[in-house]
């Protein structure tokens, strides 16, 4: 029993981070309907940015998002105007092809800039552990999970309470009506894409407190974040957290009770089953 609790705790904490990674994708796809296959690689880039800031400015990994957030926001806007904007009127297939190209590009550039060797920051300030009952909780995971929850709540508030947030939702609900009430559609799309990318900066910073980064890092989070999104369904922000935790726990239980190799097998099987049985996701509003 203790083992199960320990596994569930580990899985749930990691699941919150998965939810945070997916939040960016959810804004980009779920709200704006832009297909981005390079999302995992944006996480990789933000981890490198965190490494860069951390090692040259001596910042602790957990603080790097303060600087990398605006950087990734600008990068996202840049990517939007350079690539995505031109594909909006095309089929989703074109977006997939362009973002797969972007994926290759980001990986190759990362290897050119930082070499193929893994990079990691010194042992973070927020590392450590404490006991609750029989479970050992690692502080870096806990704080990352708390930050994830906080950011998800903030983004939900941003979307419902602020003018730009409402503009994003308006564009996603009804393009024509939103332009009638004076929403600048292009700028809104750019804002959403920028914000979606910038959110990976927070995830990247938190991951760097206990992870390392190498140019193929994107593989680990690309399809996984789509799985979380499929489980959530479109348009639901709070559902992300639950789906993230489900994925994290499924993964941990698979590792503990079956075989560590089966971890993604279980996650992807859940993903495929959800697509078959609940194509709109479990918590979707559309």
268 interacts with another protein by CB under 8 A: yes
Neighbours of 179 (CB within 10 A): 14
Give the helix, strand, coil percentages of the chain, each rounded to 5. Answer: 75, 5, 20
Q: Which is nearer to another protein, 166 or 263 (CB)?
A: 263
- Enumerate residues 6+ apart whose C-beta is below 8 A from 146: 16
User: Is residue 90 within the footprint of another protein (CB under 8 A)?
Assistant: yes
Q: Is 10 in the site for another protein (CB under 8 A)?
A: yes
116 binds another protein (CB under 8 A): yes
CA end-to-end span of the chain? 39
CB of 223 to another protein, least distance (A): 6
Kindly state the smallest distance separating residue 158's Cβ from another protein, in Å.
25
Q: Which of residues 169-228 bind another protein (CB under 8 A)?
A: 210-212, 214-216, 219-221, 223-224, 226-227
- Residue corresponding to tokens 């973002």: 99
Could you tell me the smallest distance in angstroms from the CB atom of residue 183 to another protein?
Answer: 25
Residue 78 sits in the site that holds another protein (CB under 8 A) = no
According to the binding rule CB under 8 A, does residue 133 interact with another protein? no
CB of 38 to another protein, least distance (A): 11
- Token pair belonging to 49: 């940015």
277 belongs to the binding site for another protein (CB under 8 A)? yes
Burial class for 166, CB neighbours closer than 10 Å (0-12, 13-18, 19+): middle
Q: Residue 44: which of 110, 127, 121 has the closest Cα?
A: 110
Binding to another protein by residue 3, rule CB under 8 A?
A: yes
């Amino acid at each position: 029993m203790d083992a199960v609790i320990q596994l569930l705790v580990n899985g749930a904490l990691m699941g919150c981070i998965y939810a945070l990674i997916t939040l960016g994708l959810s804004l980009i796809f779920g709200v704006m309907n832009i297909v981005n296959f390079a999302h995992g690689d944006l996480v990789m880039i933000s981890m490198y940015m965190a490494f860069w800031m951390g090692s040259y400015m001596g910042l602790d990994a957990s603080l790097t998002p303060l600087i990398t957030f605006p950087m990734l926001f600008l990068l996202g806007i840049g990517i939007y105007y350079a690539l995505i904007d031109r594909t909006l009127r095309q089929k989703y297939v074109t977006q997939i092809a362009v973002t797969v190209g972007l994926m290759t590009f980001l990986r190759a550039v990362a290897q050119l800039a930082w070499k193929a060797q893994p990079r990691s920051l010194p042992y973070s300030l927020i590392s450590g552990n404490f006991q609750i009952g029989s479970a050992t909780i690692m502080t870096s995971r806990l704080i990352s999970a708390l930050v994830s929850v906080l950011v998800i709540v903030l983004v939900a508030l941003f979307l419902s309470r602020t003018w730009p947030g409402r503009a994003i939702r308006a564009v996603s609900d009804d393009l024509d009506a939103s332009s009638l009430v004076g929403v600048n559609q292009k700028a809104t799309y750019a804002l959403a894409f920028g914000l979606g990318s910038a959110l990976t900066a927070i995830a990247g910073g938190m991951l760097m407190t206990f992870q390392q980064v190498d140019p193929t890092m994107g593989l680990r989070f690309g399809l996984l974040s789509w799985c979380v999104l499929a489980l959530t369904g479109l348009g639901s922000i709070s559902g992300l957290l639950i789906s993230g935790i489900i994925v994290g726990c499924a993964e941990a239980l698979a590792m503990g009770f079956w075989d560590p190799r089966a971890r993604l097998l279980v996650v992807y099987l859940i993903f495929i089953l959800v697509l078959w049985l609940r194509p709109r996701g479990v918590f979707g509003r559309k």
